[in-house]
Amino acid sequence: MRGGFASDSVPRHLARGAVGFGALVGSLALLPVVGPASLLLAPVGLVALRGCPMCWAIGLVETVSAGRLRRSCVDGRCELTHARSQGPVPKRSRAADHGG
């Protein structure tokens, strides 16, 4: 199942980000040159980002993790499993995180 902000592929999502952020930056950078007409790029950027930069970032995480993890909840207990193996995702120990 794909999230609400995810794209079909990571390259497509990155392209949407480039268009979105480029349009937002361009709308402000071109303001002294073109005047208020440059602000017409801002809605283009927001549409490409599907609302806001944070929405785009959430979509990137959803796109990257799509098909890799599966969540299942039974009796109020939820668990993440790898989509391929259907085994639980191994928990990392704090010692492994700190190199010891």
DSSP state letters, 37-63: GGGGHHHHHHHHTTTSHHHHHHHHHHH
Please, what is the average pLDDT of the chain?
81
* Residue partners of 44: CB distance under 8 A and separation at least 6: 19, 23
Tens digit of pLDDT for each residue in 54-63? Answer: 989 988 988 8
Report how far residue 70's alpha carbon sits from residue 81's, in angstroms, rounded to the nearest whole number. 5
pTM for the predicted model, two decimal places? 0.64
- State residue 78's pLDDT score: 85
Query: In the chain, which residues have pLDDT < 70?
Result: 1-3, 67, 83-100
Q: For residue 34, which phi and psi values (nearest 5 degrees)?
A: -95, -25
CA 60 to chain centre: 2
* pLDDT of the residue at 90: 56
